[in-house]
Every structure is written in C-alpha cells, then in structure tokens.
C-alpha cells in the first residue's frame, strides 16, 4: 500500500458504504484475524479501531459448504443484531433471543439459514441454539441469506469468541466488550458492510 493510505482506501468493492468492518488474516488457513473498523467522515475514510479476533477453525474459503468450518470470503451487508440480553445501545435492528430460538442449518429444510422459533414440528432436522454465551451479543453477516442456496452455509454471525485463537464454525468472533463496542458504533444510515478474507485477497476486492 502507498504510505499513509488506509486498507479501506484500497477496497473498491465497498461501494457507497460509509462504515466498514475489515477482517483479515495472514493466509487462507490462518484462524487469528485482525479486525479493523473504518468510517467515512466528510468524504475521507479514517480508522476507528482495531481488535484481535478469530474466524472459522479451517480458515477462509471462496467455496463455503455447510459444516466445513470455513469462513466465507467476500463483502457482505449486515443483518439483524441480536443477543441474550437487552439492546446494549445499538441503533441496528435488535432482537433479544430466548431458549426457544433456533437458526436452521438443515440444508433440506425450506427454512434453511433462517431464524425460527420452536417447537420444531418436523420443520427441520438440525438447528443452532440461539441462546448460548457466544451469542450474548452478535449480528448476522448477510451470507447466503437472500437467494439461499442449499448446502452453501448458514448461521454466519459476528459474535463473542470462546477465547483468543479458538476457531469458529465459520463465523467471526471477538471479545464480548469489543462486540458491544462495534454494535454501539454501527449506524444503519451509513450502510455498514463487513469485508473479510486473507489480506492478499481483501486488498484486491
């Protein structure tokens, strides 16, 4: 990069977004990530913060498959913020979860990659429990959420980590205080996006 240039300035695919979370690793297989937040103020991008984080236990991939332990590479919009506790102060659409909330990861269900309430009533054969410590606070990364493709991956979230260096099932994770900090910072009117992948790939997005 040019001296003094921010990483976000190199990323053409961010479009008209004015807030960006950039998640990078040193290689495709690396689990430990650098998570930087950027905001466009009066036409100029500035870095807001930087946090250590983790991605999928098997690293990044362009070809995400259900259950493969990889995080998807790309630029994604953000969906609903959620958590086991009341809204921590985010202006994002926020939903408080209960023990009766599930995210369907059954590729053969018509409800695949959606948030549902129990009882199951044979509507799916497998789903993630939304009421767990990792989801004390989180938000949805809009991967495979619009034109949902069977088996291409589900429940891709930005959530609380289980500890530094501990890979996820395909999500991005950081310390709980940092999740809350990002949630409070996010502004839906600035069309926030999350940009993730190995640094070599992100610099060419």
CB-CB contact of 136 with 146 (8 Å): no
DSSP tag of 168: B
Q: Strand pairing partners for 143?
A: none
Rg (CA), the chain: 16
Check residue 5 and give its pLDDT: 77
* pLDDT reading at 34 higher than 60: yes
Per-residue pLDDT band for 30 (boundaries 50, 70, 90) equals very high
Q: How far apart are CA 67 and CA 175, in angstroms?
A: 24
Q: How high is the pLDDT of residue 4?
A: 55
Higher pLDDT among residues 116 and 1, named by residue:
116
pLDDT at 128 over 80: yes
pLDDT digits (tens, 9 = 90+) for 150-175: 999 999 999 999 999 999 999 999 99
Cα 130 to Cα 4, 40, 63: the distances in Å are 42, 33, 25
| Residue with token string 């044979």 | 122
Q: With CA atoms as reference, report the closest residue to 139 among 59, 81, 73, 62.
A: 81
Average pLDDT (106-133) is 97
What pLDDT score does 2 carry? 46
Domain boundaries, the chain: 19-202
């Amino acid at each position: 990069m040019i001296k003094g240039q921010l990483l976000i300035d190199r990323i053409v695919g961010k479009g008209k977004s004015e807030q960006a979370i950039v998640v990078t690793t040193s290689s495709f297989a690396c689990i430990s990530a650098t998570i930087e937040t950027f905001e466009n103020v009066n036409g100029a991008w500035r870095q807001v913060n930087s946090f250590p984080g983790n991605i999928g236990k098997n690293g990044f991939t362009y070809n995400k498959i259900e259950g493969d332990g990889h995080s998807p590479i790309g630029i994604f919009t953000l969906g609903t913020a959620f958590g086991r506790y009341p809204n921590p102060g985010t202006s994002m659409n926020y939903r408080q979860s209960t023990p009766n909330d599930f995210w369907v990861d059954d590729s053969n269900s018509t409800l695949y990659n959606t948030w549902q309430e129990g009882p199951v009533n044979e509507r799916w054969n497998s789903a993630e429990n939304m009421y767990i410590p990792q989801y004390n606070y989180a938000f949805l990364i809009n991967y495979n959420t619009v034109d949902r493709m069977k088996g291409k991956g589900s429940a891709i979230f930005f959530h609380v980590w289980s500890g530094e260096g501990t890979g996820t099932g395909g999500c991005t994770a950081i310390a709980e205080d940092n999740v809350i900090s990002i949630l409070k910072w996010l502004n839906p009117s600035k069309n926030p996006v999350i940009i993730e992948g190995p640094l070599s790939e992100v610099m060419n997005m």
